[in-house]
Every structure is written in structure tokens, then in C-alpha cells.
């Protein structure tokens, strides 16, 4: 089944064919680690995690790189505000980022380059660009000379005159042209910096990605991904730097961009007070419901986030996990899950996750009706491709907010209640039921004994 992917560069959906089918390369712009990330920042990592899962089914080797930007002005500001070295900030928030991503069921990338580990490569790329006449040094800065690259603007469809007229670029005395952008800038003694031919300084953000991409994946990569807020200028600048440094070679063959999140129909902003941190959401909601919500819209479209939408995702997962719980005794080979063709076909069609989820719902219906090992395996196999339904159904039902309740404590109370009922001490049995209710636990007495789950908020 061929994979088709929309390419932001050609503005068409095209059959995906890697340069080297033995080694598919993909790069996603990662976080700048100076605070906790918000849920909008998690959409790209979740979406491209699904793409990586799909590619791994088609190709023997996929090298997926997601970087960490660990030197940047916002990091400097955070470090100065706390009076600590930048590594205190970057280590703290890189760790938090890893925890958040793991919480959302995102597999770690194959490589995770750090910008500060690539300073030599960044300096070398600057020197190459200067030598080839695409960059110049001025007042401790190195700037990319946009006029030297006539194709500039091809990705975003902007021309440079429009940019100047729209004042989208910073005017500075050391620039030859207002559209020229910074590759290297001087650091004052209290700021993080490295020695370079242009004095002590630090890299601009754009060149970090170009240098890390080349160092980790090669000069031409198959897929470069990111949020559509990065399309201009970040990705436009990456293309200019990499193409010019590498003698005109294509930098990324596919450019993929995910849409932004809105919150109850509004843009997320600090002033509106609707900034939702992944870190906080993971404590309030089952993480898998957050992942499901992020996959519920097509990745290129905007996606609205609301409490109602999360509750709907929780209900959907309740239904699917109920099927799996009812089929707990149906034995399957969990190590050899099938890849249901309808789910795969939806993902092969430009990562159509809403369609894939609709197919997964049909597989859940089939498993509910037929209860066969094949139907159960299909449901789990379809879920695996999306990174869903991989936990024990009992664990899914035993949680409060994002956290699983203390199952041992609940079981002990249920044992005590059973004993009380056996001794016809109904007052005690009712008291235990009340205690469980207060803990948010709902119990159902049935022919096969007592089952418990967590009450809906």
C-alpha cells in the first residue's frame, strides 16, 4: 500500500518515495527548553509519532530525529531571572519534555540532537556560507545574504519585497538588507557563548536545525516536519542555509506542517489565561484521551481543544476498553498483532487520522459483536498503529483524573465488603460501598463477582 503525503513545498499530495528505501530520514523541529510545553506543542510530536509508526511498517530503517534547542535568548532570559546557569534551565525542561512526551505515548525519536553539542558543525556551516558568498560577517554577527539566493520564499510563497513592506523583518544597522537573517550573534560575558572566528558568540536558532539535520541525517533528508507556525521564517531560512551550504542540493524532499490548536475557538495566549500545559493536563485527564483528541482532526487543519472534547475522547476510550475488558479471556498473540488494512489505508492517505479512528471504531464494533481472537487482534493492531489501546483495560478503568487509583486498596476494601456480606453484616458492607464511592470508585455486582471502575467526573 503506497503512502501519499501532502508536501507544503509543492502544495500537492504526492506518492511518498524515499531517496534511499533502506534508510528513510525524518526531522521534526523540537522544543526550546526554557519552560513547560503547552498542549499545542504536543500536536506535532503526536502526529509525527504516528507517521514514524507507519513508515516503520513500510521500510526496514527509519531514522527519526527530533532536536532539543538548548541555547536561545528565551533560555538566557529564564536563566538570568533565576540566577542560574543555562544548563540548570535546559536540563530541567528537557527532562520535563521527555516526561510529557512519554505520558502522551510518544515513542522516543531515534536521535535527539542538542544544539550545544553541534556548535562546531554550526560554526563550520557559517564558514562555508561565507566562503560561498551566501553570508557575511558584520559587527560580531554573521548574516545570511538573502539576495544571494533567488529561490528564497519558495516554501512560504512570499517575496522579499512583500516582506519588507509588511515589516516582518528586523531592521538593524549591520544588515546589508532588512530580510537578511542572523546565523551567529555576539554574546556579552554573562551570556552563554562559544569562541568563533567572529568573536565569542552563539548561534541563531535557524542554523541550529540546518546543522543538526546535516550532522545526524545527511545533506538531503526525506521529510522535514513542524508546526505551520514555523513555515516562515524558520523553515524558509533552514532551506536557504542548507541548500546554499550544500552546493544547491535539495534539503528536504517533503515538507509537512501540522495546524495549530485553538481553545474553545480562541487562540491560546497568556493574556487570555488559556495556556494549557501538558504537564498539568496529564494530571487531570487520562493521557491516552489527550492523545486521542490530538489525533481526532486531520493534522493539516486547525484543531479545537475544550474540556467537552476531552470528555468525548474519554467516553470513546471507555467504549473501546470495555470491549477489550469483556474479551480479556480471548487469547491472542500480542507480539504478532495484525495491521488492519482499513486503518493502514487511512493513514497512507496523507495521515488521515480521523478516518483511521472511524475504522478503529468499526473494528471495536466487530470485536464486540463477534468476540473472536481475530477481531480482538485487529482492534489491538489498529490501535498500535495509532499508539492507542495498548494498556491493560483494567488499568484504564481504575483511574482518577490522569492517575490510576490505588488498586490494592480498592481490592482490600472489596474483600472486606465480601466478607461482611457473607456474615450478613449489611451495615458494614454499605459503609464500605460509601467509602469506595467517596474515593470515586463505582462497583457493579454481577454473576461473575464484583467489578469496579472510576466514576465519571
Q: Contact positions toward Zn ion, by CB under 5 A?
A: 29, 209
Using CA atoms, how far residue 6 sits from 15, 242, 253, 300, in Å, is 9, 22, 11, 9
* Nearest to Zn ion of 137, 213 (CB atom): 213
* Nearest to Zn ion of 5, 239 (CB atom): 239
* Nearest to Zn ion of 29, 261 (CB atom): 29
CB of 206 to Zn ion, least distance (A): 7
Is 124:409 a contact under the CB 8 Å cutoff?
Answer: no
Cell of 239: 532551506
* Nearest to Zn ion of 29, 163 (CB atom): 29
CB of 361 to Zn ion, least distance (A): 36
CB of 18 to Zn ion, least distance (A): 21
CB of 360 to Zn ion, least distance (A): 32
CB of 2 to Zn ion, least distance (A): 28
Helix axes 353-370, 373-386, angle to 10 degrees: 160
CB of 65 to Zn ion, least distance (A): 11
CB of 155 to Zn ion, least distance (A): 13
* Nearest to Zn ion of 209, 324 (CB atom): 209
* Nearest to Zn ion of 202, 344 (CB atom): 202
* Nearest to Zn ion of 29, 405 (CB atom): 29
* Nearest to Zn ion of 29, 78 (CB atom): 29
* Nearest to Zn ion of 29, 289 (CB atom): 29
CB of 209 to Zn ion, least distance (A): 3
Is 379:357 a contact under the CB 8 Å cutoff?
Answer: no
* Nearest to Zn ion of 142, 209 (CB atom): 209
CB of 234 to Zn ion, least distance (A): 5
Q: Is omega for the bond preceding 233 within 30 degrees of 0, making it cis?
A: yes
SS3 per-residue string spanning the chain: CCCEEEECCCCEEEECCCCCCCCEEEEECCCECCCCCEHHHHHHHHHHHHHHHHHHHHCCCEEEEECEECCCHHHHHHHHHHCCCHHHHHHHHHHHHHHHHHHCCCCCCCECCEHHHHHHHHHHHHHHHHHCCCEEEECCEEEECHHHCCCCCCCCCCCHHHHHHCCCCCCCCCCCCCCCEEEEEECCCCCCCECCCCCCEEECHHHHHHHHHHHHHCCCEEEEEEECCCHHHHHHHHHHHHHHHCCCCCCEEEEEEECCEEECCEECCCCCCCCCEHHHHHHHCCHHHHHHHHHCCCCCCCEEECHHHHHHHHHHHHHHHHHHHHCCCCCCCHHHCCCCHHHHHHHHECCCHHHHHHHHHHHHHHHHHHCCHHHHHHHHHHHHHHCCCCCCHHHHHCEECCEECCHHHHHHHHHHHHHHHHCCCHHHHHHHHHHHHHCCEEEEEECCEEEEEECCC
CB of 208 to Zn ion, least distance (A): 7
CB of 235 to Zn ion, least distance (A): 7
* Nearest to Zn ion of 89, 209 (CB atom): 209
Amino acid at each position: 500500500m503506497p503512502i501519499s503525503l501532502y508536501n507544503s513545498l509543492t502544495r500537492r499530495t504526492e506518492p511518498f518515495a524515499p531517496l534511499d528505501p533502506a534508510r528513510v530520514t525524518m526531522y521534526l523541529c523540537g522544543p526550546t527548553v526554557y519552560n513547560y510545553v503547552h498542549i499545542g506543542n504536543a500536536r506535532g510530536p503526536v502526529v509525527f509519532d504516528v507517521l514514524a509508526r507507519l513508515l516503520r511498517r513500510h521500510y526496514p530503517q527509519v531514522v527519526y530525529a527530533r532536536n532539543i534547542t538548548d541555547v536561545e535568548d528565551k533560555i538566557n532570559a529564564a536563566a538570568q531571572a533565576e540566577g542560574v546557569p543555562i544548563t540548570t534551565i535546559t536540563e530541567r525542561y528537557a527532562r520535563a519534555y521527555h516526561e510529557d512526551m512519554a505520558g502522551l505515548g510518544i515513542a522516543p525519536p531515534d536521535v535527539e540532537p542538542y544544539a550545544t553539542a553541534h556548535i562546531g558543525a554550526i560554526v563550520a556551516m557559517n564558514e562555508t556560507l561565507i566562503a560561498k558568498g551566501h553570508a557575511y560577517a558584520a559587527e560580531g554577527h554573521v548574516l545570511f545574504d538573502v539576495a544571494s539566493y533567488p529561490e528564497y520564499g519558495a516554501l512560504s510563497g512570499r517575496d522579499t519585497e512583500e516582506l519588507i513592506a509588511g515589516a516582518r523583518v528586523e531592521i538593524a544597522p549591520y544588515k546589508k538588507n532588512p530580510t537578511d537573517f542572523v546565523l551567529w550573534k555576539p554574546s556579552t560575558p554573562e551570556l552563554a557563548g562559544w569562541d568563533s572566528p567572529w568573536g565569542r558568540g552563539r548561534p541563531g536558532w535557524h542554523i541550529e536545525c540546518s546543522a543538526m539535520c546535516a550532522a545526524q541525517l545527511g545533506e538531503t533528508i526525506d521529510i522535514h516536519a513542524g508546526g505551520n507556525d514555523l513555515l516562515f521564517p524558520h523553515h524558509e531560512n533552514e532551506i536557504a542555509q542548507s541548500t546554499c551550504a550544500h552546493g544547491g542540493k535539495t534539503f528536504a524532499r517533503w515538507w509537512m506542517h501540522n495546524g495549530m490548536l485553538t481553545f474553545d475557538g480562541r487562540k491560546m495566549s497568556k493574556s487570555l489565561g488559556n495556556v494549557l500545559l501538558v504537564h498539568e493536563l496529564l494530571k487531570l485527564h487520562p493521557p491516552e484521551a489527550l492523545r486521542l483528541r490530538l489525533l481526532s482532526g486531520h493534522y493539516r487543519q486547525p484543531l479545537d481543544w475544550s474540556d467537552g472534547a476531552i470528555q468525548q475522547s474519554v467516553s470513546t476510550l471507555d467504549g473501546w476498553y470495555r470491549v477489550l475488558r469483556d474479551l480479556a479471556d480471548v487469547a491472542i498473540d500480542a507480539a504478532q498483532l495484525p495491521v488492519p488494512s482499513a486503518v493502514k489505508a487511512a493513514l497512507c492517505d496523507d495521515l488521515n487520522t480521523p478516518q483511521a479512528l472511524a475504522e478503529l471504531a468499526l473494528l471495536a464494533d466487530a470485536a464486540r459483536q463477534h468476540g473472536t481472537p481475530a477481531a480482538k487482534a485487529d482492534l489491538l493492531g489498529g490501535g498500535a498503529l495509532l499508539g492507542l489501546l495498548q494498556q491493560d483495560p483494567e488499568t484504564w478503568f481504575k483511574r482518577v483524573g490522569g492517575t490510576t487509583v490505588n488498586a490494592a486498596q480498592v481490592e482490600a476494601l472489596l474483600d472486606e465488603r465480601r466478607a461482611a456480606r457473607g456474615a450478613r453484616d449489611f451495615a458494614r458492607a454499605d459503609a464500605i460501598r460509601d467509602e469506595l464511592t467517596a474515593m470515586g470508585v463505582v462497583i457493579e455486582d454481577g454473576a461473575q463477582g464484583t467489578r469496579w471502575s472510576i466514576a465519571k467526573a
